[in-house]
Amino acid sequence: MTGNITTQQTVYATVTHDVPAWLVIDRIRNGLAFGGFRFSDGVDLDQVSLLASAMSWKLAAHGLPVGGAKAGICCRPDHPRIGAMLKDLASAWRQPLLEHVILGKDMGASDALLDQLYAELGRPQLHLVQTNSPTAPARIRDLSGYVRDMTGLGAVIAAEAAIGSLKGKRVLIQGAGIVGAGVAIRAKQRGAIVGGMSDVDRAVVSANGLPVAELALAARDQERPFCLALLEAVGGTWMPRDQMLAEKADVLFLAAGSHVVTKTLAETIRSEVVIEASNFGLTPDANAALFARNILVVPDIISSSSSAAMTTHQLATGNGWQSGPLWDHIENNIRTAVTNGLLQASRSRVPLRDAYRAMYGTVLSH
């Protein structure tokens, strides 16, 4: 591997069974580009391109082990023709998947869907890593350091870097999928009180906190609506989904979809700090509205970087890190990005996102 960086985005666009799909390579580093594969009927090329760029920015604070990429298909993962679609995409994207790109999970994706894509390709998911490191595992989920709820763990680390210990702090979580449930579990482990959560249909809040860890596992196993399970179990207060944002809290974690918090919703937020655990959970106008109100936003390119960092460090080294040292390294990088970014943001009177880009832009320009 050369260590050189290729920076111009490359787009592979195709249509399968009347459904558009895109693979975008933002840049190639050390011969590789990595990103998730999103299955959503709301995805489009602009979003996939933005996500690919965001992946590179996430990795900048972690030394850019590999370049950023992203894939998306404009349908739900339960589409009746999804198997045939994956076969078409494996053929259409064969060159980049054989030469540079490794795809992991994103919204709507599952291990089974990714396994099927690579089965159609006729290669293991990590065949590009195995070329240089034959003892590396075949799948991302078998890498050393792959732990449950690791995106949530990174978001919680970012929150602690911003405000100190979470012990006794009241947190709200928008989103009850894999990331939202992971944030809840990791935040409770650090002593936080999970005062409210919302899913796609409703929100539930409780002054005494929600028993999230147990119910998260139960909801996953039973494939039941997460907040309905909470409501039935603890008898908390029900409210419309977006109304929860107006509840008072120390920290609000955004762990739902992209650009779901608009300026109008942002103006109702009463939390002191907002953590973007999802990819750009705030619209640009919402970001500006929160900055004008002196509400700190820790952006996704910091707080949603831990999973990508873990994976790409291992891709770049052929699974060469041990889990403990790797996670110590990731935590240190996130805390450094937040701490130094806050100092720069205060001096320059800009949002933390802008300060981060100024600090780490040189990583992406070389």
Per residue in 280-312, pLDDT tens?
A: 999 999 999 999 999 999 999 999 999 999 999
**Residue 236 has what pLDDT?**
65
Q: Residue 223: is its pLDDT beyond 80?
A: no
User: Among 142, 161, 187, where does a domain finish?
Assistant: 142
Average pLDDT over residues 216-232: 55
Q: Are 131 and 223 contained in the same domain?
A: no
pLDDT value at 355 more than 70: yes
CATH number of the domain enclosing 151? 3.40.50.720
Q: How would residue 211 be classed by pLDDT, with cut points 50, 70 and 90?
A: confident
pLDDT tens digit string along 32-65? 999 999 999 999 999 999 999 999 999 999 999 9
Q: What is the pLDDT of residue 2?
A: 33
Q: Give yes or no: residues 193 and 137 share one domain.
A: no
* DSSP-assigned beta bridge partners for residue 101: 33
Sign of the alpha-carbon dihedral angle for 342, 343, 346, 348: negative
pLDDT at 15: 97
Last residue of a domain, one of 117, 142, 167: 142
Question: CATH no. for residue 66?
Answer: 3.40.50.10860
Looking at the structure, tell me whether residues 164 and 311 fall in a common domain. yes
Q: Does 336 lie in the same domain as 241?
A: yes
Structural domain harbouring 236:
144-366
What is the pLDDT confidence band of residue 213, given thresholds at 50, 70 and 90?
low
Residues 256 and 230 in one domain: yes
CA–CA distance, 109 with 129 (Å, rounded to integer): 22
Residue 197 has pLDDT above 70, yes or no: yes
Rounded-to-integer distance, Cα 248 and Cα 13, Å:
44
- Residue-level pLDDT at 216: 53
| pLDDT of 135 strictly over 80 | yes
Cβ–Cβ contacts within 10 Å for residue 328, how many?
11
Same domain? 158 vs 115: no
Q: Are residues 65 and 198 in the same domain?
A: no
Same domain as 86, residue 224: no
Q: Does residue 10 sit in the same domain as residue 121? A: yes
pLDDT for res 192: 96
Tell me 288's DSSP state.
Answer: H
Residues 209 and 312 in one domain: yes
Instruction: Tell me which of 115, 142, 169 is where a domain ends.
Output: 142
Measured CA to CA in angstroms, residue 154 lies from 226, 327, 339 at distances of: 22, 10, 15
- Quote the number of domains for the chain: 2
Give the pLDDT mean for 182-197.
93
Does 119 lie in the same domain as 180?
A: no
For residue 226, the model assigns a pLDDT of 61
